[in-house]
Structure 1
Amino acid sequence: MKFQRTTFLAGASVAALLLAGCGGGTSATTGAGGAGADGKGEIKGDIQASWWGGESRNAKTNKVIDMFVAKNAGVTVDRQSADFAKYFDKLNVQAASKNLPCVVQLQGRQINDYTKRNVLLPLDPMVDSGAIDVSDIPKSVVDAGRGTDGKLYFLPYGAAYDAVGINTTLAEKAGAGTLPENYDWPTFTKYLTKAQAGMPEGTNAANNGGGRPNYFIAWTQANGKTLFNDEGKLGFSKEDLAQYWTMWDDLRKAGVVVSPQKAAEEPTAPDQSYLAHGEVMSDTLPGNALTPATKTLSGAAPGNTLTTLPYPSGPSGSGNALYPSGFAVSSNCDNIPTAAAFINFFTNDLEAGKLFGSDNGAATNTKVLDAQLADPAISSTKKHELELYKEIVSNEPPTIVFPPGYQSIFENSFKRAYEEVAFERMSIDAAADKFFAEANAKLGQ
Structure 2
Amino acid sequence: MTRPSIRRRRGTLGAAAGTVLALLLAGLTSCSSGNGQNAEAGGKVTLTFTWWGNEDRAQRTNEAVNLFEKRHPGVTVRTSFAGYEAYVQKLATQAAGGDLPDVAQLDYRQISQYAGSGTLLNLGPYIKSRTLRTADFDKGLTRTGAYEGRQYALPMGRGSTGFAYDSTVFRKAGVATPRPGWTWDDWVEAGKKVSALGMKGPNGHAYTGLTDIGVNEDAFENWLRGKGKKLYASQHQLGFTADDLADFWTFTDRLRRQGIASQAKDTAQISGAVEDTPMGRGLAATDFNWDGPFLGYPPLLGENVHLAPVPTTDGRAGQYFKPTMLIGAGAATHHPKEAAELIDFLLNDPDAGTILGVTRSTPPNRKVAAAIGKGLTGAEKEAYGYGRKIAAYGTEAPPMAPPRGDVVLQVSFTRTYQRVIYEMQSPRQAADEFVAEAKRELR
TM (norm. structure 2) is 0.81
- 1:245-298, Cα deviation, whole Å (9 max, x unpaired): 222233223321223234335675213533234432222133123333112113
The residue that corresponds to 1:192 in the other structure is 191
Identity %: 27
Q: Tell me, in whole angstroms, the C-alpha distance in 2 between the residues paired with 1:50 and 1:261.
A: 32
Q: Tell me, in whole angstroms, the C-alpha distance in 2 between the residues paired with 1:181 and 1:81.
A: 35
In structure 2, what residue type is equivalent to 1:132? L
Structure 1 residue corresponding to 2:246, chosen from 238, 242, 246: 242
Q: Tell me, in whole angstroms, the C-alpha distance in 2 between the residues paired with 1:253 and 1:103.
A: 45
- SS for the counterpart of 1:236 is coil
CA 1:396–1:70 in structure 2 vs 1: closer, same or farther (change >3 Å)? farther
2:139 paired with 1:135: no
Q: Tell me, in whole angstroms, the C-alpha distance in 2 between the residues paired with 1:249 and 1:46.
A: 50
CA 1:87–1:205 in structure 2 vs 1: closer, same or farther (change >3 Å)? closer
Q: Tell me, in whole angstroms, the C-alpha distance in 2 between the residues paired with 1:162 and 1:365.
A: 20
Moved more, 114-123 or 175-184: 175-184
- SS for the counterpart of 1:51 is strand
CA 1:255–1:92 in structure 2 vs 1: closer, same or farther (change >3 Å)? closer
In structure 2, what residue type is equivalent to 1:112? S
Q: RMSD across aligned C-alpha pairs, in angstroms?
A: 3.0
Contact 1:199/1:205 (8 A) holds in 2: no
Shift of 1:307: 0.8
Contact 1:156/1:326 (8 A) holds in 2: yes
Q: Tell me, in whole angstroms, the C-alpha distance in 2 between the residues paired with 1:345 and 1:398.
A: 25
Q: Tell me, in whole angstroms, the C-alpha distance in 2 between the residues paired with 1:67 and 1:268.
A: 29
- 1:340-362, Cα deviation, whole Å (9 max, x unpaired): 22111110111111112222232
The residue that corresponds to 2:176 in the other structure is 177
In structure 1, what residue type is equivalent to 2:380? K
TM (norm. structure 1) is 0.81
- SS for the counterpart of 2:285 is strand
Structure 1 residue corresponding to 2:211, chosen from 203, 207, 212: 207
Q: Tell me, in whole angstroms, the C-alpha distance in 2 between the residues paired with 1:421 and 1:84.
A: 24
Matches within 5 A, 1:163-174: 163-174=162-173
CA 1:439–1:316 in structure 2 vs 1: closer, same or farther (change >3 Å)? farther
In structure 2, what residue type is equivalent to 1:274? P
The residue that corresponds to 2:388 in the other structure is 390
2:424 paired with 1:433: no
**Where does the alignment leave 5 or more consecutive residues of structure 2 unmatched?**
1-13, 15-19, 31-35, 39-43, 201-205
Q: Tell me, in whole angstroms, the C-alpha distance in 2 between the residues paired with 1:263 and 1:51.
A: 25
- SS for the counterpart of 1:110 is helix
Contact 1:207/1:282 (8 A) holds in 2: yes
Shift of 1:221: 1.5
- 1:316-337, Cα deviation, whole Å (9 max, x unpaired): 8322232432321222233322
CA 1:199–1:283 in structure 2 vs 1: closer, same or farther (change >3 Å)? farther
- 1:2-39, Cα deviation, whole Å (9 max, x unpaired): xxxxxxxx9xx77679999x9xxxxxxxxxxxxxxxxx
CA 1:66–1:154 in structure 2 vs 1: closer, same or farther (change >3 Å)? same
- SS for the counterpart of 1:87 is helix
The residue that corresponds to 1:59 in the other structure is 59
- SS for the counterpart of 1:386 is helix
- 1:104-134, Cα deviation, whole Å (9 max, x unpaired): 2212121122112112122233223322111
- SS for the counterpart of 1:205 is coil
The residue that corresponds to 2:120 in the other structure is 120
Structure 2 residue corresponding to 1:280, chosen from 284, 293, 305: 284
Moved more, 128-137 or 89-98: 89-98
Shift of 1:393: 4.7
CA 1:399–1:271 in structure 2 vs 1: closer, same or farther (change >3 Å)? same
Contact 1:52/1:87 (8 A) holds in 2: yes
Contact 2:253/2:427 (8 A) holds in 1: no
The residue that corresponds to 1:232 in the other structure is 236
* Aligned positions, number: 403
Q: Tell me, in whole angstroms, the C-alpha distance in 1 between the residues paired with 2:331 and 2:104.
A: 11
CA 1:374–1:133 in structure 2 vs 1: closer, same or farther (change >3 Å)? same
**Where does the alignment leave 5 or more consecutive residues of structure 1 unmatched?**
1-9, 23-43, 299-303
Q: Tell me, in whole angstroms, the C-alpha distance in 1 between the residues paired with 2:100 and 2:276.
A: 33
In structure 1, what residue type is equivalent to 2:352? A
Q: Tell me, in whole angstroms, the C-alpha distance in 2 between the residues paired with 1:274 and 1:262.
A: 6
CA 1:388–1:121 in structure 2 vs 1: closer, same or farther (change >3 Å)? same
The residue that corresponds to 2:268 in the other structure is 264
In structure 2, what residue type is equivalent to 1:252? R
2:293 paired with 1:295: no
Structure number with the bigger relative contact order (C-alpha 8 A, sep ≥ 6) is 1
Q: Tell me, in whole angstroms, the C-alpha distance in 2 between the residues paired with 1:422 and 1:48.
A: 41
